[in-house]
Amino acid sequence: MNYYFAPMEGLTGYIYRNAHKAFFNNIDKYFSPFIVANQSERFKTKELNDVLPENNQGIVLIPQILTNNAKDFIHTSKKLKFLGYNEINLNLGCPSGTVVSKNRGSGFLAKREELDAFLDEIFSESITSISVKTRIGKDRCEEFYDLIEIFNKYPIKELIIHPRIQKDFYKNKPNMKIFNDALVLSKNPVCYNGDIFTLKDYKGFSTDFPGVDSLMIGRGLIANPGMVSLIESNIKLNKNSLKDFHDKIYEDYKRVLFGDRNVLCKMKELWLYMIPMFTDNAKYAKKIKKANRLSDYEEAVSSLFREQDV
Ligand SMILES: Cc1cc2nc3c(=O)[nH]c(=O)nc-3n(C[C@H](O)[C@H](O)[C@H](O)COP(=O)(O)O)c2cc1C
């Protein structure tokens, strides 16, 4: 199985990615949170830092672009190619209202003629190979049958399917019937993404879909960064390693972010996913959430690691 770390805006930037690589070293590809391609000649500092080769040494990183404008995709691709990237991922999955209202992300899935013309233009340029991360529709899952005909016209390096529609956000269950049809209908290689949170989920998926050899995991990996070691080698996450992993991310955020508030904000978002792994975690979750100073945060995290198990 090839394991991909899903792009997660605010969570899987280069600080997290480097720590994950250093501690776990079992991810085949990391995908960057989306870069909004626009007319500007230059990347925003945050976006550039995230994809700079010196910030991603030894890591296979696939930068992701969010746009519905082919010219913007192309000139952003050229800049990424210049940095050394040979594959770019197109975001056709983001369900957020502000993105969808501009017909981007999963909003673009409802504009099928425009999407077809967009893909035609970006694939004609062939600056890098292009993979696509998509939902199965905007309003109805049956939209997927029109979408796959469009996708099949282009040499997509990999079609990464999160089988929900935009309207689901992260609710309901992934539609495995449509995913199964995608495997039959797609002329391009397919990767699965969605709701793999436990070893049991993984085993169920690989039993049902033995032919799928690429799996992208997001929230499950943030919750248990050692999930792939568990799947592949039955190695359970060790509390001390998790503490070291946490400390590395925390120290690196303190080094690069301006102000304690920003550091706390980043760490608190991670804990939303990680805290359920701990026994009897409610009291600690509350303390972490309420921490306004680094010292309060450190005390809350230390007591959690000291007093509870994973
Ligand atoms: C906080 C958050 C941020 C995300 N940011 C991105 C993003 O930048 N690009 C993208 O394609 N998907 C993004 N996603 C979607 C994930 O990549 C993934 O498709 C989704 O979480 C489903 O996979 P999972 O069930 O393994 O988490 C984001 C999801 C979450 C919860």
Q: Is 210 exposed, middle or buried (0-12, 13-18, 19+ CB in 10 A)?
A: exposed
pLDDT tens figures, 89-99: 999 999 999 99
pLDDT of the residue at 283:
97
Residue 218 in contact with ligand 1 by CB distance below 6 A: yes
C-alpha 195/C-alpha 170 separation (Å) is 9
* pLDDT in the model for residue 40: 81
Q: Is the CB of 8 under 6 A from ligand 1?
A: yes
- CA dist., res. 245 & res. 203, Å (int): 26
Residue 256 clears pLDDT 80, i.e. is over it = yes
Helices 143-151 + 176-185 axis angle, to 10? 30
Q: Is the pLDDT of residue 211 over 80?
A: yes
pLDDT of residue 107: 98
Mean pLDDT in residue range 108-121: 98
- At residue 141, does pLDDT exceed 80? yes
- Does ligand 1 come within 6 angstroms of the Cβ of 6? yes
Q: How confident is the model at residue 39 (pLDDT cuts 50, 70, 90)?
A: confident
Question: What number is the average pLDDT over the span 31-46?
Answer: 91
Q: Is 93 in the pocket of ligand 1 (CB under 6 A)?
A: yes
Atom of ligand 1 at shortest range from CA of 195: 25
What atom in ligand 1 is closest to the CA of residue 6? 17
Under the banding of pLDDT at 50, 70 and 90, the label for residue 301 is very high
CA of 160 to the centre of ligand 1 (A): 12
Annotate 242-260 with b (16+ C-beta within 10 A) or e (fewer): bbebbebbbebbeeeeeee
Mean pLDDT (whole number) for 218-245 = 97
- Cα 206 to Cα 6, 182, 201, 203, 301: the distances in Å are 18, 16, 9, 5, 35
The minimum-distance atom of ligand 1 relative to the CA of 91 is 11
Q: Which tokens go with 62?
A: 């696939």
pLDDT, the chain, mean: 97
For residue 21, is pLDDT > 90? Answer: yes
For residue 41, pLDDT over 80 is answered with: no
Ligand 1, from 3, 5, 9: best to mutate by most atoms within 8 Å of Cβ? 9
Q: Whose CA is nearest to atom 8 of ligand 1?
A: 33
Share of the chain above pLDDT 90, in %: 98
CA separation for the pair 87, 154 (Å, rounded)? 15
Query: Residue 307: its pLDDT value, please?
Result: 97
The contacts of residue 295 (CB under 8 Å, 6+ apart) are: none
Q: How much is the average pLDDT of 237-264?
A: 97
Q: Does ligand 1 come within 6 angstroms of the Cβ of 66?
A: no
Whether the predicted pLDDT of 146 surpasses 80: yes
What distance in angstroms lies between residue 6's CA and the mean position of ligand 1's atoms? 6
pLDDT at position 59 over 80: yes
Name the residue among 303, 305, 248, 253 with its Cα closest to residue 274: 305
The band of 38, judged by pLDDT with boundaries at 50, 70 and 90, is confident
Q: What is the mean pLDDT of residues 53-69?
A: 98
Best residue among 35, 62, 219, 270 to mutate for probing ligand 1, ranked by most atoms within 8 Å of CB: 219
- Alpha-carbon separation of residue 126 from 64, 67, 88, 114, 248 (angstroms): 16, 17, 11, 19, 39
63 lines ligand 1 (CB under 6 A): no
pTM above 0.95, yes or no: yes
Does residue 194 have its Cβ closer than 6 Å to ligand 1?
yes
pLDDT at 297: 98
pLDDT band at 200 (very low <50, low <70, confident <90, very high): very high
Which residue minimizes the CA distance to atom 14 of ligand 1?
A: 8
Q: Ligand 1 centre and the CA of 256: distance in Å?
A: 24
